[in-house]
Amino acid sequence: MRRLRRVRILATLGPASSDSTTIRKLFEAGADVFRINMSHTSHDKMRELIATIRNIEASYNRPIGILVDLQGPKLRLGTFKESAAILANGQSFVLDSDPAPGDATRVHLPHPEILRALKEGDALLIDDGKLRLIAEETSPQRAVTRVVIGGRISDRKGVSLPDTDLPVSAMTAKDHADLAAALEAGTDWIALSFVQRADDVHEARRIVRGRAAIMSKIEKPQAIDRLADIMEASDAIMVARGDLGVEMPVERVPGLQKQMTRMARRMGKPVIIATQMLESMIASPVPTRAEVSDVATAVFEGADAVMLSAESAAGKYPSEAVMMMDHIGEEVERDPTFGSVIDAQRPDPEATAGDAIAEAARRIAETLHLPAIICWTSSGSTAMRVARERPRCPVVAITPNATVARKLALLWGVHCVVAEDAHDSDDIIHRAGRIAYRDGFCKAGERVIVVAGVPFGTPGTTNMVRIATIGSDADANL
C-alpha cells in the first residue's frame, strides 16, 4: 500500500461510507486519513468507525490516521409562528431575547452572548449568507437591524458574525463530551471548529494532554487576524473554505489559502485544504474541470493534504472521488514544473540543529540523486522537519510508536513504518536499509540517507545524518 504521491488524502466518513467494505475500498483507493464529523455522528457510531478503521489498518499493516472533527458552537435563530417569513430589502428586523415565535418583524435569538457582543455596523449573515443584516441599534436584550439582502427566513437557520468577536469558547458542552469520547476511543487528531484565538487551542490542549494532536480549522475572519498565534498553538491547520467563504468575500479566499499554506510550511505545521474540492462528485462520477484545477492548485502549493467532505460521506461515488484525488495528485507531481514550484516556496531553516540537519539531508539526497531519506523518529519531529523541506525523494519515517505513525499519515511525502526502536547506530543503519528495501524505496547497491537522533528514543534530538549503502543481502535479512 505504498502511495506514489506525496500529497495526502482525507476522506470524511458518513452514511455513504460507514460500513467496513466501503471504508476498505476508500483506503485502497488512496485515503490516508479518515475524518469523523461529530456534527452528525453519535459516540457509539464513532467508536464503531474507529474500531473498523483499526481492523483495516491491522489487515494491511499500514498506519491509518483518524481525525475526529468537533462541531463547535452552532449559532441559530429561534422559530417563527408560521415556520418562515419573508424579509424585504431595506426593512427593519429585530433579533431579541423574547422566546416567543417570530414573524416578519422580529425573531428570538437564543444566544445572549451575541446580543451582548454586537456593535452598531456589525453584519449578521443568515442561512450561509443568503440573507444579510446590519446592526443599527444594539443592547443586551435586542438588536435592531436593517435588511441588506432579504429573502425567506425560517426556523433555526444558522447565524454567522463576520465582524463580531464573540467572548465564547470554541468548545461547547457537546464538544467536551465528544472530545472525551474520542480520546477514549483512540483518535489521532482532534479538529477544533470556529477557532477565534490561540486561547481556544490552549483550552483544548489542557484537556487532550498529549493524547492526540490538535488541528485548528480556520473558518472565521477573527482567526485570520490572529493566524500566526493560532498556528503556533496548533499541531496543524485546516483551511475550511466553506465557512470562511460565507463570512468573508469569496474572492479573498484563494489568496488566503495560499498565504495559510505558505505560513504553515514556514512554521513546519501540516496544512489541509478542505471543502467543496470535488463537490460535483456527490452526484456525478466525474468532477468539473474547475474542481480538478482547484485540487491541482492545492497540490502545486505544497499542501500536506486535500480533503473530501460530502463527496465521500454522503455522495454516490465515494471511492471514485478518492481515486480522482489520487490521480490528480500523482499527475501534478509528475508535471515538469512541480519541482520548481515547490522549490521556489521553500522557507529558510530555523536556527536549530534539527532543522539544519533536515536541510542538509535534503540537499545531500538531491545532489547525489538518492532514492530515499529514512528518518528514525520517536516523537515524529524528525520526519516533520524533513517533510518541511519538501525533498524530491520519498521520506520513510520509522518509529516504535504506532500513535506517532498514525499522526504522520497526514504528512506530505512521508511513508510511515512501525518498528522496534534501534539499539545502536549500526542497528539504525542496517534496519533502515532493510525496511526501505522491503517497501520498494531502493534496490540493493543503492545509497540512502539516514537521519536520526542520539541518544535513541529521546524526542526532539535530530542530530545525526549518515549515507548508507543497501547491501546485496538486504532481502535475505528481512
pLDDT tens for the chain, 478 residues long, are 689 899 999 999 999 999 999 999 999 999 999 999 999 999 999 999 999 999 999 999 999 999 999 999 999 999 999 999 999 999 999 999 999 999 999 999 999 999 999 999 999 999 989 999 999 999 999 999 999 999 999 999 999 999 998 888 889 999 999 999 999 999 999 999 999 999 999 999 999 999 999 999 999 999 999 999 999 999 999 999 999 999 999 999 999 999 999 999 999 999 999 999 999 999 999 999 999 999 999 999 999 999 999 999 999 999 999 999 999 999 999 999 999 999 999 999 888 888 999 999 999 999 999 999 999 999 999 999 999 999 999 999 999 999 999 999 999 999 999 999 888 888 889 999 999 999 999 999 999 999 987 776 666 667 789 999 987 665 534 3
Shared domain check, 297 and 334: yes
| Dist CA 384 CA 103 (whole Å) | 55
Do 199 and 336 belong together in one domain? Answer: yes
Residues 293 and 261 in one domain: yes
Whether residue 360 is contained in a domain is answered as yes
SS (H, E, C) the chain: CCCCCCCEEEEEECCCCCCHHHHHHHHHHCCCEEEEECCCCCHHHHHHHHHHHHHHHHHHCCCCEEEEECCCCCCECCCECCCEEEECCCCEEEEECCCCCECCCEEECCCHHHHHHCCCCCEEEECCCCEEEEEEEECCCEEEEEEEECEEEECCCEEECCCCCCCCCCCCHHHHHHHHHHHHHCCCEEEECCCCCHHHHHHHHHHHCCCCEEEEEECCHHHHHCHHHHHHHCCEEEEEHHHHHHHCCHHHHHHHHHHHHHHHHHHCCCEEEECCCCHHHHCCCCCCHHHHHHHHHHHHCCCCEEEECHHHHCCCCHHHHHHHHHHHHHHHHHCCCHHHHHHHCCCCCCCCHHHHHHHHHHHHHHHCCCCCEEEECCCCHHHHHHHHCCCCCCEEEEECCHHHHHHHCCCCCEEEEECCCCCCHHHHHHHHHHHHHHCCCCCCCCEEEEEEECCCCCCCCEEEEEEEECCCCCCCCC
Looking up residue 420, the CATH number of its domain turns out to be 3.40.1380.20
Strands 106-108 and 123-126: unpaired
Q: According to the model, what pLDDT value does residue 477 have? A: 42
pLDDT of residue 127: 94
> Do 313 and 418 fall into the same domain?
no
* Whether 392 is catalytic: no
Catalytic residue among 41, 138, 275, 461: 275
Same domain, 200 and 312: yes
**Residue carrying the nine cell digits 480533503:** 307
Grid cell, residue 253, equals 479566499
> Do 214 and 326 reside in the same domain of the chain?
yes
Flag whether 238 is in a domain.
Answer: yes
* Residue 478, pLDDT score: 38
CA 250 – CA 247 distance, rounded (Å): 8
Query: Looking at the DSSP assignment, which residues form a beta bridge with residue 96?
Result: 108, 142
Same structural domain for residues 236 and 381? no
The residue with cell 502511495 is 3
Told to judge if 106 belongs to the known catalytic residues of this protein, a careful annotator would answer no
Asked if 156 and 241 sit in the same domain, the reply is: no
Is residue 462 one of the residues assigned to a domain?
yes
Point out the domain boundary residue: 160, 195, 217: 160
Counted domains in the chain: 3
Catalytic, out of 5, 35, 265, 362: 35
Contact 48, 347 (CB under 8 A): no
Residue 2 located in a structural domain? no
Model pLDDT, residue 83: 95
Kindly list the strands in the beta sheet with 447-453, ordered across the sheet, starting from the edge strand earlier in the chain: 414-418, 395-399, 373-376, 447-453, 462-469
**76 catalytic, yes or no?**
yes
421 & 379 share domain: yes
Assess whether 103 and 137 both reside in one domain: yes
Q: Is residue 217 domain-shared with residue 319, that is, in the same domain?
A: yes
If asked whether residues 188 and 316 sit together in one domain, one would say: yes
Q: What is the pTM of this model?
A: 0.93
| Residue 435, C-alpha cell as written in the block | 525496511
Residue 478, in any domain of the structure: no
34 domain residue, yes or no: yes
Q: How far apart are CA 49 and CA 17, in angstroms?
A: 10
Q: Beta partners for 418? A: 399
Instruction: Specify whether the CB–CB gap between 216 and 189 falls below 8 A.
Output: no
On whether residue 390 sits in a domain, the answer given is yes
Specify the CATH number for the domain of residue 33.
3.20.20.60
Predicted pLDDT at 471: 77
- In the set 45, 47, 76, 174, the catalytic residue is 76
Residue 380 lies in a domain: yes
- Structural domain boundaries, residue 123: 84-160
35 included as an active-site residue: yes
Q: Produce one character per residue of 313-338: b if its CB has 16 or more CB atoms within 10 Å, e if not.
A: bebebbbbbbbbbbebbbebbeeeeb
Where does a domain end: 160, 179, 203? 160
CATH code for the domain of 133: 2.40.33.10
Decide which of 344, 366, 384 is a domain's last residue. 344
- pLDDT on residue 383: 94
Span between the terminal Cα atoms of the chain, in Å: 18
